[in-house]
Each structure stands twice: as structure tokens, then as C-alpha cells.
Structure 1
Amino acid sequence: MKTWPVQDAKARFSELLDSCLKDGPQIVTRRGAEAAVLVPMQDWERLQRAARPSLKELLLSGEVRAELELPGRGRLRRREPRESL
């Protein structure tokens, strides 16, 4: 991956975009630190699909996704039935 300082990325954006489409992801740096990555749309869509499981996959997986606090049983009393008029 090629690295582009933010000033060069701004000044030569068309070249940055062409490099991205031809050679793959391009890194943009700010003050020497990696700040962003420009990736081709096909790669981005593939990454998005891979990061999010489908509803079917979620329902079929045995993996716990969240801890739910369920109330204990038997602690609450039932209401007494009301007399009808």
C-alpha cells in the first residue's frame, strides 16, 4: 500500500483515486500518523458483508450476543382476582 501525506492526497486526489482503483487500498497520513485508507468500492462492500452476519446466521448461531438480566422467579406476587359487580 502506498502512503500519501494529506497535503499530497488533497492536491493530487485524482491520482490517489486512480492508484486506489489500480493498485488497491491507499493510506493517507496526517503529521506522519496513519489517518485514513481509501479502498475500492468492491473491497469496501466485501468488508461490510463480512463484518455483519445475516439475520439467519444470527438466529442459527449458538453464540450469546448480549447478557440479559432476567428477573428471578417467584419473587412477585400475583394480583388477587377482583370481584365482579
Structure 2
Amino acid sequence: MALWPVQHAKARFSELLDACQREVPQVVSRRGTEAAVLVPIEQWNRLQAAARPSLKQPLLAPHARTEELVPSRGGARRRPVVEL
């Protein structure tokens, strides 16, 4: 990944965008520390889809899905009963 200081990224944004689409994601730094990454939209969409599980997936799965949706029982600790 190429590193662009924020001043250069602002001054040559179209070049930064072209480099992102043509090559690899481009990193923008502010005061020497990495601040942001510019990635192509296709890669961004793939990352977003992978990071966010869909409710549709477990509901349409061919196997039983109740084990995934129902919490396990019997693990709760109970307080002792004190006789009065």
C-alpha cells in the first residue's frame, strides 16, 4: 500500500483515486500516523458483506437452526433460599 500525506492527498486527489482503482488500497497519513485507507468500491462492498452476518442466512439454512437461535439453559446460578 502506498502512503500519502494528507497534504498530497488533498492536492492530488484524482491521482490518489486513480492509483486506488488501478493498484492497491492507498493509505492517507496525518502527522506521520496512518489515518485512513482508500479502497475500490468492489473491495469495500466485499468487506462490508463479510463483516455483517445476515439474518437471512440462518433462516434459510437447510439444517436445524434452533440450536443457534435459542440460548443454552441450566447455566444460571441461583441464590440459596433462606428459611425465615
TM-score normalised by L of structure 1: 0.68
Q: Secondary structure at the match of 1:27?
A: strand
Structure 1 runs of 4+ off > 6 angstroms?
Answer: none
Q: Secondary structure at the match of 1:8?
A: helix
Deviation at 1:64, TM superposition (A): 8.0
Give distance in 1, aligned partners of 2:41 and 2:70. Answer: 32
TM-score normalised by L of structure 2: 0.69
Please report the RMSD computed on the Cα atoms of aligned residues, expressed in angstroms: 2.5
Percent identity, aligned pairs only, is: 64
After superposition, the C-alpha distances for 1:7-56 in whole angstroms (9 at most, x for unaligned) are: 00000001000000000200000000000000000000000000011103
Q: How many residues align?
A: 66
* Residue pairs, 1:34-45, within 5 angstroms: 34-45=34-45
CA change 1:56–1:13 in 2 (3 A) is same
Specify every segment of 5 or more residues in structure 2 that has no aligned partner in the other structure, as ranges.
60-64, 72-77, 79-84
Specify every segment of 5 or more residues in structure 1 that has no aligned partner in the other structure, as ranges.
66-71, 73-85
